[in-house]
Amino acid sequence: MKPPASNTDEFVATVLATGGEACLPKNLSDDWLHRLASDLHQALQCEEEQDDNGRGYLTTPMAAVIGILFAKSRGELEIQVAMKAMLDYLVDYQLELALENITRVTDISHSQASLAEIFDRERKVTLRRAQAGVQ
């Protein structure tokens, strides 16, 4: 049985309604971080389009990416994105979600993407391990 896809209406009401910056992985609750990561895994790695209830796996992560893109555009009412670029953004978002999850569950931290940095193909990620005995 496939895992359920995220409820996009719930995501829009609880996260996206507060602004695109809320969709950055560092600003997501643990619950939304895991749900979006699961959705992207199903869509991109398992190539599943929908869950058993007919909900699309890409819908909520795409809403998050679009919210970030609009926030980056600083108030533009219309943006244009090539389909190839949108796929690249979804893959980048999946990586950012994974990095954030690693930071939350291990002693490894990373340079979290800001609104200005996310989706920058030249972005360099700094990884740090906590010193032994230091919290």
Closest listed residue to residue 39, CA positions, set 65, 66, 52, 57: 57
pLDDT band for 75, please (50, 70, 90 cuts). Answer: confident
Whole-model pTM: value is 0.93
* pLDDT tens-digit series, residues 4-61: 999 999 999 999 999 999 999 999 999 999 999 999 999 999 999 999 999 999 999 9
Percent of the chain with pLDDT over 90: 93
- Backbone φ and ψ for 110, nearest 5 degrees, come out as -140, 165
Closest listed residue to residue 107, CA positions, set 129, 87, 92: 129
pLDDT band for 133, please (50, 70, 90 cuts). Answer: low
Identity of residue 132: A
Q: How far apart are CA 11 and CA 18, in angstroms?
A: 10
Q: How far apart are CA 77 and CA 109, in angstroms?
A: 35
- Is residue 109 pLDDT above 60, yes or no? yes
> What pLDDT score does 16 carry?
98
pLDDT band for 1, please (50, 70, 90 cuts). Answer: confident
* pLDDT tens-digit series, residues 77-97: 999 999 999 999 999 999 999
> What pLDDT score does 132 carry?
62
